[in-house]
A = this chain, B = another copy of it.
Amino acid sequence: MKILMCVPNISEGRDLKVVEQVVAEIRGVAGVKIQDVSSDPDHNRSVLTYLGEPEAVLQATQAMAKRAFELIDMSKHHGSHPRMGAVDVVPFIPIRGVETKDAVEIARRFGKFVGELGVPVYYYEDAAMRPERKSLTEIRKGEYEALPGKLKSPEWAPDEGPAVFNPKSGGLVTGARFPLVAFNVNLRTDNLEIARKIAKAVRHINGGYRFVRAIGLALEDQKMVQVSMNLTHYQKTPIPRVFETIRSEAARYGVSVAGTELVGPVPLGALEEVLKHYLQVHDFSMEQIIENALIE
């Protein structure tokens, strides 16, 4: 089975009746499983997580967005999280048997659909059509309030839809990205400088691994420090390689690893890398996992 995940962030986190009506559109599509719905009243934002066959996920996402555009009015929206539109950001994430290019194609079909509804659309991450639009932060700079001005400049001409401000719906960012793995390593020291040095050693921006973003943090209650990471491509920069580098860097300071955390959802493929590395299993296939027989 091919599995694509979609994690739209919509700009409603207070009126749960509205959220439920939007989620009902996803639930109505056969073959799509909703994994999680989290609403944050301070952010006034909800994160929907669902997955299934790519075509079914596209259909669910179109129905979801159409409904959200009807029900959410951005001209009245307030919340602490950065946002630009009623359906703010829609990442499509390959989980199994789906290549990045397939996810990009789905994102582009979704973008066209949204553009035809009269909402300006920007493609980001692996679906970006200009390098300066890869980053969500860059696209969303100035938020909803800056959008009328930005739309007047050719630099911010949308990738789909009209270059005209839509006060009710704002703008939408969609694209494809590999699933993130949130991985934290806790170190038996309270010396924050060590965590920061190790974060620099492993993260891309300072010369480390290509698909690692990392910061050093203090865990004050536990009198420890943490290297907190997002691994943005667990196949090309696998968990065990990063972990062993951290262990070795920490040893330079006489510091050992107290434990690690895998936060939130993890694709089975990321665990396969752990197995292959530490058990030295050269020929393991995820198909050998018994529970896989139940994924149709």
- Contacts A265-B288, A266-B288, A275-B274 given; does A281 touch B293 at CB 8 Å: no
CB distance from A103 to the nearest CB of B (A): 14
Report the count of interface residues on A (CB-CB < 8 A): 44
Q: How many copies of this chain are found per oligomer?
A: 2
Binds B, one of A14-22, A127-135, A205-213, A253-261: A253-261
Within 8 A of B (CB), among A33-54: 33, 35, 51-52
CB distance from A216 to the nearest CB of B (A): 18
A residues with CB within 8 A of B: 1, 3, 5, 33, 35, 51-52, 95-96, 179, 239-240, 243, 257-262, 264-268, 271, 274-275, 277-284, 288-296
What are 20 contact pairs spanning A and B, CB under 8 A?
Answer: A3-B294, A33-B293, A33-B294, A240-B278, A243-B279, A258-B280, A259-B280, A260-B280, A265-B288, A265-B290, A266-B288, A267-B289, A267-B290, A267-B291, A268-B291, A271-B289, A274-B274, A274-B278, A274-B279, A294-B296
